[in-house]
Amino acid sequence: MSAIKKGRVFSGARPTGRQHLGNYLGAIQNYIALQKDYECVYCIVDIHALTTVDSTESLRSNTYEMALDWLAAGMRPEETVIFIQSQVPEVTELHTYLSMVTPLGKLTDLPTFKEKARMQPHNVNYGLVGYPVLMTADIVLYKAGLVPVGIDQAPHLEFARETVRSFNFRFNTSVLIEPSMIATDSPRVLGIDGQQKMSKSLDNHIELASSEAETVQRVMQMVTDPQRMRRSDPGRPEVCNVFSMHKVFSSPEEISMVDLECRRAGIGCVECKQLYARNLNTHLAPFRHRRAELAKDTNLVWDVLREGQQRARALAHQTMAEVRQAIGLP
């Protein structure tokens, strides 16, 4: 018998294909951990992706690869609802209703909209403006009371809360639930350039599903303390990205050793990276093994997503009946 859960959690992620260490430490680990105490609804937000992608060619394969990574990392479809956003079209209907209680100026004033418009001036589409409204619909459609967000995403959730209040006030109802935030500890994972956030588009990432040899190769490319030019120069672990990763994947003894030996040039960067790469590969070995096993059945991921769609749709169906009634639609 499954334990009583504390509430329903919703989170969505764009289909970005094979996941990297930044995705893993920033989101996937939290997703997995939350399953223990919460009823989780995890969505691959392909409609959101349409606001920024130029080509939709890889949407299907990116969805497959990401879902496979989620499952291999420990997502449990027996209890967690895992599905594709566009396969529950009720979300677009709810988005439309919510848009009627959202002032346009509020959307165009959001820093995230301004940032996106700056990044793609050739494609400032209507969907981009309404993105936070669709995000709100994602959450409230499944009556999720909780959303795991890093502190930098807190304004998005506040927007969702305000939109729910506006809707409930406008239609004199309490049908939509104001979501609360579960603060998650999401470290900012830098790419192998040691400068920017790890990202596929910057090609500074390390994929979870890479082979051991590919992982070693990427780790060896990592930028270290720029002041450590020669092997005999003492280093500064506190400014080195390799050391940050040791803190995640190495043992306390190894972390102390690197901290000490780097400062007195007792360890070289090559050796230090080899140690990190070895520990990273050891950590990822069970994930990689599970991924390879799951991939043998090419239908498995799609079956999981189809089953998730049915469960998500049942929740959505119920909410939409209540929403239409609250609005007074005939």
The answer to whether 235 contacts ligand SF4 (rule: CB under 6 A) is yes
One character per residue 272-301, x = contact with ligand SF4 (rule: CB under 6 A): xx----------------------------
Task: State whether residue 149 is helix, strand or coil.
Answer: strand
Q: How far apart are CA 199 and CA 202, in angstroms?
A: 5
Window contacting ligand SF4 (CB under 6 A); options: 96-104, 151-159, 236-244, 292-300:
236-244
SS3 89: coil
Residue 224 makes contact with ligand SF4 by CB under 6 A? yes
Say if CB 171 and CB 137 are below 8 A apart: no
Q: What is the identity of the amino acid at 199?
A: S
The token pair at 37 is 């105490």
In this complex, which beta carbon is closest to ligand SF4, that of residue 242 or of residue 312? 242
| β partners of residue 81 | 41
Instruction: Work out how close the CB of 238 gets to ligand SF4 at its nearest, in angstroms, rounded to a whole number.
Output: 9
CA distance 57 to 323: 35
Q: How far is the CB of 225 from ligand SF4 (least distance, A)?
A: 4
Rounded least distance, CB 249 to ligand SF4, Å: 13
Please enumerate in sequence order all residues whose Cβ is within 8 A of that of 113, keeping only pairs 6 or more positions apart, or say none: 107, 128, 129, 131, 132
Is the Cβ–Cβ distance between 291 and 19 less than 8 Å?
no
Question: According to the binding rule CB under 6 A, does residue 242 interact with ligand SF4?
Answer: yes
User: Does 69 help bind ligand SF4 (rule: CB under 6 A)?
Assistant: no
Q: Do residues 70 and 31 make contact, with C-beta atoms less than 8 angstroms apart?
A: yes
Distance CA 38, CA 31 (A): 10
- Check residue 262 for interaction with ligand SF4 (CB under 6 A): yes
Using the contact rule CB under 6 A, the part of the chain among 3-11, 136-144, 161-169, 264-272 near ligand SF4 is 264-272
Q: Which stretch binds ligand SF4 (CB under 6 A): 6-14, 107-115, 174-182, 265-273?
A: 265-273
**Closest separation in Å from C-beta 256 to ligand SF4:** 12
Alpha-carbon distance 274 to 214, whole Å? 13
Work out which of 133, 137, 240, 304 binds ligand SF4, going by CB under 6 A.
240
Of 216, 208, 218, 219, nearest to 291 (Cα)? 208
Only segment of 124-132, 240-248, 280-288, 317-325 that touches ligand SF4 (CB under 6 A): 240-248
Residue 250 in the binding site for ligand SF4 (CB under 6 A):
no
Min dist. Cβ of residue 206 to ligand SF4 (A): 15
Which residue spans within 174-235 are E strands per DSSP? 180-183
Residue 45 near residue 138, CB atoms below 8 Å: yes
Q: Is 192 in the site for ligand SF4 (CB under 6 A)?
A: no
Whose Cβ is closer to ligand SF4: residue 144's or residue 245's?
245
How far apart are CB 263 and ligand SF4 at their closest, in Å? 8
The correct pick among 43, 258, 304, 316 for binding ligand SF4 (CB under 6 A) is 258
CB of 241 to ligand SF4, least distance (A): 8
Q: In whole angstroms, give the CA distance from residue 67 to residue 292.
A: 13
Dist. CA 163–CA 165, nearest whole Å: 5
- Interatomic CA distance for residues 330 and 324, integer angstroms: 8
Question: Which range in 27-35, 95-103, 154-162, 235-243 contacts ligand SF4 by CB under 6 A?
Answer: 235-243
Residues that bind ligand SF4 (CB under 6 A): 224-225, 228, 235, 237, 240, 242-243, 258, 262, 267, 269, 272-273
